[in-house]
Chain A
Amino acid sequence: MRKNLDVIAAYSIMLGLIILVGFLQSWSMALSILCLCLISAVMTIGANIQWGYAGLINFGIMGYTALGGLAAVLVSAPPVEEAWKAGGLNMLLCAFIVFSMILVIRLILKKFSKSKNRNYIIAAVIIAGLILLRLISAPAIESIEAVNPATTGFLGGMGLPILFSWIVGAFFAGGLAYVIGKIALGLRADYLAIATLLISEIVIAVIKHEDWLSRGVKNVIGLKRPVPYEIDLQGKEWFINLVQKFNQGSLNLISNSLEKQQALKQLVIESSTVFVKLCFAGLFTAVVIVLLIVTQKALYSPWGRMMRAIRDNEEAANAMGKNVVKQHLLIFVLGSAIVGIAGAMMVTYDGLFTPGSYRPMRYTFLIWVMVIVGGSGNNFGAILGGFAVWFLWIEAAPIALFLINLFTSGLEETNALKVHLINSIPYFRFLMMGIGLLLIMRYRPKGILPEKIKRV
């Protein structure tokens, strides 16, 4: 028990802070912070597997998150039958062409020995394939996007429950990671970082501009939730009774029955949002706990030991007969798949998919700050980092406002400097993140909860 004291202490402080937000600001706010903290925690588990276990730098987190989000759309959005009729067949044909192109290239790679001619043949296959794709897809895309462009204009999804998309998102992200890993994992650490960063930008560009697939910047809204809607809850008998029971004390103080009705109504509306968020938080907590158990088990298994050995000394591990390339690829895929789950969770929580909002600051670098601040190599640390950094990211504005008011208390309300500072409060969160990261890297380079290695 004693050795886990720091973990328990850190998590209690974190939960205490969130509860404090509940008392000071509102419970709905506290719960939405909690939900996003949990999603961030899933992302940091994914990033931590790659960086903490294996020492791989993946700056492409944004790309996998977006792919997970795309999975949520493709799984849960209702299919647009008209669009399928207009161009579905052509798009399926295109998918078939891409698939056969990959097969042909693999065949060529296998059959011919490495030579200049082989490269030319592969290039010719790719170019011919691209021209064919363009010819087949261009009219289809045009007709798909012409179908009711204000509301649909895309192929739609499968109309399945959105929870399936969490698994599908993992597969999407894992698949992309497999391709990227195959081509880029041989690169040196900093090259890998830059390459993954740029590839994730390409992924975003595709999602943003292929309207037939994802509606692009027109966004997909109104995705079905796995939890009840507020409006439905407000009409349900059992929910109203539940709220009444909870607030018995305060309701009894009101003597006028009409006012009592009004107060109850207000309370029901407020508690319905809290209830919905509680449901979400429960779902997300389940995911985090499952992932935590699995990753912890993996970390202390022979496989985890091998990963750490590879991370700490690649050559030695290689000499011991461990297949470094294969293990790196495996862990790259696993970590990215977890990030994909988080991407799908995020879209599930928001109920909408906005490709324009995926920016590297928020979805790549912030996640890295979380992992490094929390403690790379330690799952509890990474999750704590997700919580702490997200909490700061959200609460930075009120804190900054408080600090500015404190330091400029001598100035008048209309003072130009004060007004300017107060107007630029949203940007203080960048400052806090940067300074926080720099301080942690300087004085506690292993993070708040550093990696613990069991020694025998």
Chain B
Amino acid sequence: MDFLNAIILLLNYLIVPALAYGSQLALGAIFVSLIYGILRFAYFTAGDLMSFGTMFTILFTWYFQSLGISLGFLPTALIAIPFGIIVTIFYVLLKDKLVFSYYRMKKSPPVMLAMVSIGTMFVTQAIVRIVIGPFDRRFFDGEKFIIKANEFKEMTGLNEGLAIKSTQVITLFVTIIVVSILFWFLNKTKTGKSMRAYSDNEDLALLSGIDPKRVVMITWVIAAILATVGGALYGLDKSFKPFTYFNNMLPIFAAAIVGGIGNPFGAFLGGYVIAFSEILLTYAYKKFFVYLLPESLEPDGLLQLLSTDYKFAVSFSILVIVLLFRPSGIFKGKVL
């Protein structure tokens, strides 16, 4: 019984939250990685693009709520996401046309493009703050929990409760769907293959008649979709605050690099690596061992490796270590 309790404890506080957080990071990391592979620069607007997409999702959610449309026990935001995506696609394509295409034509070094993306980061941040403000916003509606801790305890008779939020399940579901469509697209369709070819060797791809404009456009479209979905899921699960989204850029980059930048599948796994290590290293294991060990061996301290204040620092340290010993990432980068 104690063993089961310990497992449930870990599930409740570690595995379920880490899976949800990891999926949200993974969606961001995939598009950062894609942009790095195809457009060949570090896209510093990543976090703010996610907040841009989420902002429009929220605006549409409010609009639908005012019309009285709802999905019952599911959050209304799910219908709003596609509309948010459309606006975001429009925005990134406009940005590409006005800003990035010029430097691509000139074949500027990647550093220059990264700097330009800092410029667009400022602009995007300003737009989000001017339109919706810098405040914390919750836009979740519908049923909050799938299983409540109390119900679970009654059902199983265990001491530990397992609470699963519906947003966590939605996050996992949507991530699985989006990511499997994406990998199907990249691996099986002709356009996807041409994108991989372009990422692998630009000159060779151009020689074989691949239209670079199309490849770039599709990359931006995918980036907008992933940014909006990832951002909206994060916002549903936690809350929407532009500053947090900007900060999320850092673990996203960490995930993309740990997974091997330029490699979307690596980035996808990298998201989970970062999320799990953040939560595993900052969790206090005291209760876990109280269940497992006999009473005489019970630990005194909290058995916390690092205080939760250092949550971000964990992912960055992992990144630094990976960069030092395996700069191409755990899953070998640059092979889209």
Contact = CB atoms under 8 A, between A and B. Distances in A.
Whether chain B is bound by chain A comes out as yes
Interface stretch (A186-194, A289-297, A312-320): A186-194
Interface in A100-128: none
Contact of A427 (B109, B130, B257): B130
Contact of B327 (A187, A201, A423): A187
B207 interface: no
B323 A205 contact: no
B116 A194 contact: no
Interface string A24-63: 0000000000000000000000000000000001000000
Interface string B101-115: 010000001111011
Contact of B320 (A183, A205, A369): A183
A441 interface: yes
A239 interface: no
A195 B256 CA distance: 13
A434 B48 CA distance: 13
A372 interface: yes
Interface in A238-261: none
B51 interface: no
B134 interface: yes
Interface string A173-203: 0000000000110011111011101110110
Nearest to B246: A361
For chain A, give the interface size range. 35 or more
A442 interface: yes
Contact of A184 (B109, B123, B317, B320): B320
A199 B254 CA distance: 11
B102 A442 contact: yes
Contact of B123 (A193, A368, A438): A438
A431 B122 contact: yes
B248 to A, nearest CB: 12
B137 interface: no
Contact of A194 (B42, B119, B313): B42
A190 B115 contact: no
A210 B156 CA distance: 43
A427 B317 contact: no
Contact of A365 (B118, B127, B307, B324): B118
A358 interface: no
Contacts of B165: none
A193 B114 CA distance: 9
**Is chain A's interface secondary structure helix, strand, loop, or mixed overall?**
helix
B119 A205 contact: no
B123 A431 contact: yes
Given A431-B130, A434-B123, A201 B111 contact: no
A276 B121 CA distance: 37
B331 interface: no
Contacts of A193: 42, 111, 114
A53 to B, nearest CB: 15
Interface string B220-247: 0000000000000000000000000010
A375 to B, nearest CB: 14
Interface string A343-379: 0000000000000000001000100110010000000
Contacts of A372: 115
B310 A195 contact: no
Contacts of B109: 189
A255 B272 CA distance: 79
Given A205-B309, A205-B313, A434 B119 contact: yes
B126 interface: yes
A434 B316 contact: no
Given A189-B111, A194-B253, A208-B309, A434 B126 contact: yes
B99 A201 contact: no
Contacts of A441: 112, 115-116, 119
A435 B316 CA distance: 30
A201 B316 contact: yes
A223 interface: no
Chain B CB within 10 A, most for which of A189, A434, A442: A434
Contacts of B76: none
Nearest to B45: A434
B134 A365 contact: no
Given A205-B310, A437-B119, 13 more contacts: A184-B320, A187-B327, A190-B42, A190-B111, A194-B42, A195-B320, A201-B316, A202-B312, A202-B316, A368-B115, A434-B122, A438-B116, A441-B119
20 contacts: A184-B324, A194-B42, A197-B250, A198-B254, A202-B312, A202-B316, A205-B313, A208-B309, A209-B307, A209-B310, A365-B121, A369-B118, A427-B125, A430-B125, A434-B122, A435-B119, A438-B99, A438-B116, A441-B112, A442-B99
Interface of B: 41-42, 99, 102, 109-112, 114-116, 118-127, 129-130, 133-134, 246, 250, 253-254, 257, 307, 309-310, 312-313, 316-317, 319-320, 323-324, 327
Interface of A: 57, 183-184, 187-191, 193-195, 197-199, 201-202, 205-206, 208-209, 361, 365, 368-369, 372, 421, 423-424, 427-431, 433-435, 437-438, 441-442, 445
The list of the 4 closest CB pairs from A to B, nearest first, reads A434-B122, A434-B123, A431-B126, A430-B126
